[in-house]
A and B are shown apart, each in its own frame.
Chain A
Amino acid sequence: MTQNSLGESVVQKAVQAQQVNNGVAATATQTQPLWLLAEITYRCPLHCAFCYNPTDYDKHTQNELTTEQWIQTLRDARKLGAIQLGISGGEPLLRDDIEEIVAEAHKLGYYSNLITSGVGLTEKRIQAFKEGGLDHIQLSMHDITEEINNFITNTKTFELKKKVAAMIKGHGYPMVLNVVIHRYNIGHMKEILEMADALGAEYIELANTQYYGWSLINRSQLMPTKEQVDEAEAITNEFRAKSGSKMKIFFVVPDYFADRPKKCMNGWGEVFMIVTANGDVLPCHSARVLPNMKFPNVRDDDLGWSWKDSPAFNQYRGDSWMKEPCRSCEEKEKDLGGCRCQTFLLTGDAEAADPVCSKSPHRHLIDQAIEDAKNPQIQAQPIVFRNDKNSKRVIAGELQERVAEFHALP
């Protein structure tokens, strides 16, 4: 799974959609889960170092929801107002019922998106998706070089991705590419944009790595320098201005190099609802790292109750949970205090200000992480790739030296 759905571009559009409606921010009681992300399996043939899936995902590969449970979930979420559907993972194509799920989503009126690495996409399957009414396919790409693609994903998938891109285009789908940006590909920004343009992409999201799950463990190995990020953004802006390409480019700025946090998920329980492979209902992808929280599950709980009334979805809705310096901050509505998961992972206190914020008493943790990423000794630690073996090691507590610094992992 790529980091696309953490992307601000997605979030911002949802915000605009709400603002067009009534011009004011939705209140807690009026929110609708406009965006449903189905993390349909955590199994994945790729082993990307930057994956934000939980590091203990191996616990959730044997208890996946059935086709019928997914279809019921789609129906229930649609009644609550869900309209954009992302089918993601892991690699969703590892399940053989995506055709059925896509067809049901279309009947229900979803605008559906398959978020895939492309591994497992065949002519037969894409034909079935087209007939079933899948609206678009978002393909992850990693680099213009075979070397970096194969290194960062820990698989030989470079040639396959080019074939899949042609297949998507050939079936009349809009080409939506997602490229997660990190130290190993940030120097190739211009070439990546040219490649995307040559492939006929209509949209490309350049998603700077955000540090959750596997990418958090590998933070010092993945993080570029501020200078590299600035240069990448400048190249992107120049490409936008000069290339004459019609491709829409979203550059998702990494929050570590900003002095204000992102409005994570556009606010807890505001527009996003995630249902995980095992049926947990979450307000954000990594919410399960938070302590003392019990998340609803579609096997046991009514989805409307989960969204509107469950303690978990109300825990960080709005701003009444805030402490100082957020509580009295003039800007609190802009970012709602940032990301609860990042805050907890880095500070041990889920209700503190996001340490990215320059007003946070924990900002030094971010500055230290940026420094550590430049330290040759720390850089030299091996990457922990996302695979079943390493997930089992995390569960067994064998990777303590890499995770001890973070207050909770998964």
Chain B
Amino acid sequence: MENQIQHTDIYALAPHHRFQWEEAQQSYVILFPEGMVKLHGGAGEVIKRVDGKATVGDVVTALKAAFPDAEGIENDIIGMFEMAVGKAWLRKV
């Protein structure tokens, strides 16, 4: 995969995709034509902060601040970006 994620990159949700909290499932989901993906807690927290303005670095900083006890989450966050870009849930701005 050529999805090299840089801290300066900015991402937004891909066209025709929607991200929302699902009360009945107690989780975040991404919806798109003919499908949906249920996100783990951590994955949901990452995508929630992707808004077409924040850089990857901003998202990492924000999550570190929000979850000060979680160690080494940066790799997980970058991994989540890689997967979401690979699955075409996100597009680069």
Using a CB–CB cutoff of 8 Å, the interface residues on chain A facing chain B are 9-10, 13-14, 16-18, 20-21, 32, 34, 79-81, 83-84, 109, 111, 113, 135-136, 138, 173-174, 176, 202-203, 205
Q: What distance in Å separates the Cβ of A167 from its nearest Cβ neighbour in chain B?
A: 17
Establish whether residues B39 and A20, one from each chain, have CB atoms under 8 Å apart when the complex forms: yes
CA distance A14 to B29 in the complex (A): 12
Interface residues on B, range: 10 to 19
Closest to B35 in A: A13
CA distance A173 to B15 in the complex (A): 9
Q: Which of the segments B3-11, B19-27, B49-57 contacts the partner chain? A: B19-27
Instruction: Name the residue among A79, A111, A138 with the largest chain B CB count within 10 angstroms.
Output: A111
How would you classify the secondary structure of chain A's contact residues: helix, strand, loop or mixed?
A: mixed
A176 surroundings in chain B (CB, below 8 A) = 33-34
Establish whether residues A17 and B36, one from each chain, have CB atoms under 8 Å apart when the complex forms: yes
Using a CB–CB cutoff of 8 Å, the interface residues on chain B facing chain A are 15-16, 18, 20, 22, 24-25, 27, 29, 31-40
CB < 8 Å: which of B15, B24, B37 contacts A17? B37
Establish whether residues A34 and B36, one from each chain, have CB atoms under 8 Å apart when the complex forms: yes
Establish whether residues A16 and B25, one from each chain, have CB atoms under 8 Å apart when the complex forms: no
CB < 8 Å: which of A10, A16, A20, A34 contacts B34? A10
Q: What distance in Å separates the Cβ of A407 from its nearest Cβ neighbour in chain B?
A: 32
B37 surroundings in chain A (CB, below 8 A) = 13, 16-17, 20
CB < 8 Å: which of B16, B24, B31, B39 contacts A84? B31
CA distance A174 to B29 in the complex (A): 19
Name 12 extra pairs, CB < 8 A, besides A13-B37, A18-B38.
Answer: A9-B34, A13-B35, A21-B27, A21-B38, A81-B22, A81-B24, A83-B31, A135-B16, A136-B33, A138-B33, A202-B33, A203-B34
A20 surroundings in chain B (CB, below 8 A) = 37-40
Show 30 residue pairs from A and B whose CB-CB distance is below 8 angstroms, ordered by the A residue.
Answer: A9-B34, A10-B34, A10-B35, A13-B34, A13-B36, A13-B37, A14-B35, A17-B37, A20-B38, A21-B27, A80-B24, A81-B22, A81-B24, A81-B25, A84-B31, A84-B35, A84-B36, A109-B20, A111-B31, A135-B33, A136-B16, A136-B33, A174-B15, A174-B16, A174-B33, A176-B33, A176-B34, A202-B16, A203-B33, A203-B34
Q: What distance in Å separates the Cβ of B92 from its nearest Cβ neighbour in chain A?
A: 15
Closest to B29 in A: A83
CA distance A196 to B37 in the complex (A): 26
Q: What distance in Å separates the Cβ of A21 from its nearest Cβ neighbour in chain B?
A: 5
B27 surroundings in chain A (CB, below 8 A) = 21
Closest to A176 in B: B33
CA distance A9 to B37 in the complex (A): 14
CA distance A80 to B15 in the complex (A): 28
CA distance A197 to B77 in the complex (A): 35
Given A81-B24, A136-B16, answer yes or no on A17-B38 (Cβ-Cβ < 8 Å): yes
A205 surroundings in chain B (CB, below 8 A) = 34
- List the 5 closest A-B pairs by CB distance, nearest first: A81-B24, A13-B35, A111-B31, A174-B16, A21-B38
